[in-house]
Structure 1
Amino acid sequence: MNPPRGMRDFLPADKARRERVLAIIRERYRAHGFDEIETPVMEDYDRLHAGIGGDNEKLSFSILKRGMDAESIRAAADNPAALADLGLRYDLTVPLARFYATHRASLPTVFRSIQIAPVWRAERPQKGRYRQFVQCDIDVIGDASANAEAELMVASLDVLDALGLEGGTIRVNDRRALDAMLDVFGFAPDERPGVLITIDKLDKVGPSGVVAELRDRGVTARAVDAFAEYLARPASQRSFDEVGIRAALPAGIPAEVVAHLVDLGDTVAAARGGAVPLVFDPFLVRGMGYYTGTIFELAHPSVDYSLGGGGRYDGMIGRFLGQQVPAVGFSIGFERIVDLLPDTAADGERSIVLVHDRDVSTAQLLSLKTALIAGGARVRVERRAKNMKALLERSAADGYASFATVNVESTPETLEIKPLA
């Protein structure tokens, strides 16, 4: 009796742990001036497949139209759009764009949103990859400056600090720099989507593997030669300033792109007390097709994978409004982060299990329980068992930190509360 593949049940202790982490994320994001919204789990099929969701559109769960009989289903079998009119959201960015287009008149000029909710993708289930998972997104809509990206980065680094994961850094690039770089090397416009897919594998297959795959793709040979020469250059300075950024890029990158990145670094450094927890990575790609400018990924030294990411998507909301609206977002990888954190079951919470004898009345138990709750405790009542060790171990596994035995003479003042651990 398992849940559907790629989806999970959560026992009480797991659920409580997840909620504690979510509470910290919410609290820190709200402290930075972001406001939480909620959108439906479903959106129109056409909106989810409008060409703005990248490869995730292929992973969308569609919902069969109501009232279709067998004959109409067979007739539409080769046309998914004729079979479905709704779908489960595969991310929170497309719903946010639709939300903003719907409610723009009621929102501030610069809107800072929080969305924390489950999304669904028809992934092939494997370790760390699920078909239902929680996303924690913050977005800034209406600000085209580097200040918007800086706000997202500072708030997200603050979340890591609050969760006890200090030392996080953010890898940064710009899709405009990537496009200019491919232009400098000489890749044709129609070759670039495939070239970016290959470049995105640099961490996995290394420079020689990337160059070999580009040659196998049959793209412009002179461009591959120029790119190979660029990869073979001596390691450049890694500082996140104009010197470091220009040293990491070939000549010919637009000055306004470099200036935007430098401004971003200066702003984050000021907010973080002078340190710049940013790393410029000219090969960071991120696969979402709607990114138009700065892109970034959250890293932590304890793991070799990202803990979140995002970027600027200035063109998406314009699809719904008919006019350009600047927007940038950051998504924390909640499922990855919650697995990294130690199991701090009690988290400072006063939680007590009252283990009572058979002859203790319900009235006395509820009176004791009510008094402890009024004092700020979380209380569970359990009848004394023959195997007390098993009872106490289960209580500890459920997140309780202490216990007290109750007899007919017990009062709130005489209870002897002992730690479970």
Structure 2
Amino acid sequence: MPSAKTQPARGMRDFLPVDVRKREYVIGVIKSVYERYGFEPLETPAVENIETLMGKYGEEGNQLIFKILKRGEHEKTGEADLALRYDLTVPLARVVGQYQNELPKFFKRYQIQPVWRADRPARGRFREFYQCDVDVLGSRSMVVEAELIAAASDALVALGFNDFVIRVNHRQVLIGLGDRAGIRHDHIEPALTTIDKLDKIGVEGVEKELSARIGPTSTTKLVDFFRELASLDQAADIASEEASAMKEKALNAAILGRLVEFVGDHEKGSRGVEDLRSIIELSEGTSAARRIRLDPSLARGLSYYTGAIIEINVSDLTGSLGGGGRYDNLVGMFLGKDVPACGFSLGLERIIVVMSEREMFPPELISSPADVMVTIWNEDSIAESIALATELRREGLRVDLYPEADKMGKQFKYASSRGIPFVLILGDDERAHGELAIKNMKSGEQIRLPFELLKTSPQRNVQHADDQTVKSKRNIEALLKWLRNGSKAGEAGDSIKPGA
């Protein structure tokens, strides 16, 4: 068992090569999708002034901020003036406040960087983790919400997910529900925190906790509303079991209708309901349309949300694959005036956990760091082995060059340990006959092919040099074809002709 001296800090991780390849693959797919939607990259420092972060994430969030103690005499008091980045949204708001005159009218940015939270580590939950954010600043249009939802949906589909649910709610709907239920304004926030647990503790659990926090009188009407929504969901299951897309559409329509009845003419609540209706309508025709599910219990706990609240879930993960929403007031804390803003964040770590457990990664990503390994026969063959590796790399292959003239058995064992599928051998006999040996490490098959590398020694005349260049190029092309065709020996003989 590793000693404490070699283990990373609790909630932190090392990433070995296979892990890094997985992470880079997921990040690459997400970046590609974000850029197709016109988002630009942004990076901000890991360390922020503590006043930049405090008070932006609610009471619970404040407790999870990693504070950096002042040095010297302040260490004893525990005083801190700096903190590690908690998320990517607040730093974005700070950047907009700092560079407002240099940014476009509608600032569309993506940001993929680590954040830190003093949370309790659990499956898929770490103290250091990456977020993959997209945000649009400068517009109040619900087109922004629809675009962000579509971008996140497209990214997950591109990664191979097809069973996720996009839960959508609205901050003003929550306020309207609370007001209409008779909950005092100073009880709204604790009530929302409890309602957000509905999917975890059920209606009965919510009723019990609400009664304890805000009293039974204010609880009854709100709990009855959510109990009714639960029955709508069950009815939709029975009526539309064979058509999930139609089920979600019918269920969303029923929830909208019930929300209209419950909030009535409540100004904020009714406006929130219409925003939800717009988001659903604008999402038609996107990959997200059949995945959107209205969820009036969704709150996500962040106090800076002002409008739509979004979360993506899969059934085999506690917690979400991502979340976000509208935060029109946050930038105003840095700028002195409100700037409309909406964003969404995919959780890289949780995506990787689920993809690994479901075996969703491309096999070649996990199995091998190289397409082929070039051996070194002896000290005299080093230059030719390097030349062969160089030529193949120029053609786009991933090539590992064994660095020492070990016994072939050791070199084969090394290639197998790294999962490299092919090994190329330039032994004395092969070089003497102008050939190259290729070993398929999976089948054990080994064949020899006519092959001659481009020599680096001076040529007798220009014509001879040109002829040799053509010959070498043809040999490399034939070898590449052989490797890329899956090492079929019959095709190899047809591809590479003696003296070609």
Matched, 1:139 2:162: no
SS of match in other structure, 2:129: strand
Corresponding residue of 1:369: 389
Q: C-alpha separation between the residues in 2 aligned to 1:364 and 1:86?
A: 56
Cα drift, residue 22 of structure 1: 0.8
* 1:149 and 2:171 aligned: no
- Please give the per-residue CA displacement for 1:271-324, whole angstroms capped at 9, x wherever unaligned: 349x43210001111011111110011123554642101111111100000101
How far off is 1:261 after superposition?
1.2
Q: Say if 1:371 and 1:412, in contact at 8 Å, map to a contact too.
A: no
Answer whether contact 1:17 1:345 (CA < 8 A) is retained: no
Spell out, residue by residue over 1:235-289, the C-alpha distance to the aligned partner (whole angstroms, 9 max, x if none): 266537655412256242543222211111111113349x432100011110111
Scaled by the length of structure 2, the TM-score of the pair is 0.75
Q: Deviations over 1:73-128 (max 9, x none)?
A: 44xx1xx5xx2221110111111110111111111111111100111112222332
Give the SS at the match of 2:123: coil
Q: Are 2:435 and 1:416 aligned?
A: no
Does 2:57 correspond to 1:53?
Answer: yes
Would you tell me which structure has more helix in proportion to its own residues? 2
- Which residue of structure 2 aligns with residue 357 of structure 1? 377
- Listed as ranges, the matches of 1:10-409 within 5 Å are 10-49=15-54, 51-54=55-58, 55-66=60-71, 68-69=72-73, 72-74=74-76, 77=77, 80=78, 83-217=79-213, 219-233=214-228, 234-235=231-232, 238-239=248-249, 243-247=254-258, 250-252=262-264, 254-272=269-287, 275-300=289-314, 303=317, 305-341=319-355, 342=359, 343-347=361-365, 351-359=371-379, 361-382=381-402, 383-384=406-407, 386=409, 390-396=413-419, 400-408=420-428, 409=430
How does the TM-score come out when normalised to structure 1? 0.89
Partner of 2:242: none
Partner SS state of residue 115, structure 2: strand
Range 336-345 or range 112-121, more displaced? 336-345
Amino acid at match of 1:346: E
Q: How many angstroms does 1:196 deviate by? A: 1.4
- Specify the code of the residue in structure 1 equivalent to 2:130: V
Q: What SS does structure 2 have at the residue aligned with 1:117?
A: strand
Q: For 2:197, give the aligned amino acid.
A: K
Say which is worse superposed, 124-133 or 205-214, in terms of deviation: 124-133
Q: Distance in 2 between matches of 1:415 and 1:386?
A: 15
C-alpha offsets along residues 116-162 of structure 1, whole Å, 9 cap, x if unaligned?
01111122223322111111111011111111111111111111111
Equivalents in 2 of 1:150, 1:261: separation in Å? 10
- The structure-2 alpha-carbon separation of the partners of 1:241 and 1:374, relative to structure 1 and needing over 3 Å to count, comes to same
CA 1:402–1:318: 2 relative to 1, 3 Å: farther
One-letter identity of the residue aligned with 2:183: F
Q: Give, in whole Å, the separation in 1 of the partners of 2:398 and 2:67.
A: 42
Q: What displacement does 1:384 show?
A: 4.7
Pair 295,412 (structure 1): closer, same or farther in 2 beyond 3 Å: farther
Q: Give the match's secondary structure for 2:303.
A: coil
Cα 1:373–1:244 change in 2 (3 A) is same
Contact between 1:41 and 1:89, CA under 8 Å: does it hold in 2?
Answer: yes
For the residue of structure 1 that corresponds to 2:82, the secondary structure is: strand
SS at match of 1:270: coil
Using the TM superposition, give the Cα deviation of residue 371 of structure 1 relative to its aligned residue in structure 2, in angstroms.
0.5
Q: Distance in 1 between matches of 2:50 and 2:9?
A: 23
Shift of 1:388: 6.1
| Cα separation, 2, equivalents of 1:147 and 1:269 | 12
- Mapped to 1, the partners of 2:255 and 2:225 lie a distance apart of 16
In our comparison, the structure showing a higher alpha carbon Rg is 2
Q: Check conservation: 1:137, 1:329, Cα contact below 8 A.
A: yes
Q: Percent identity?
A: 36
Secondary structure, aligned partner of 2:302? coil
Contact kept, 8 Å, 1:146 with 1:264, in 2: the verdict is yes
Root-mean-square deviation (CA, aligned residues, Å) is: 2.5
Aligned AA for 1:379?
Answer: V
Change (3 A) 1:301 1:6: closer
Aligned positions, number: 406
Matched residue type, 2:226:
L
Secondary structure at 1:137's aligned position in 2? strand
State the 1:62 CA deviation. Answer: 1.9
Do 1:170 and 1:297's aligned partners in 2 also have CA atoms closer than 8 Å?
Answer: yes
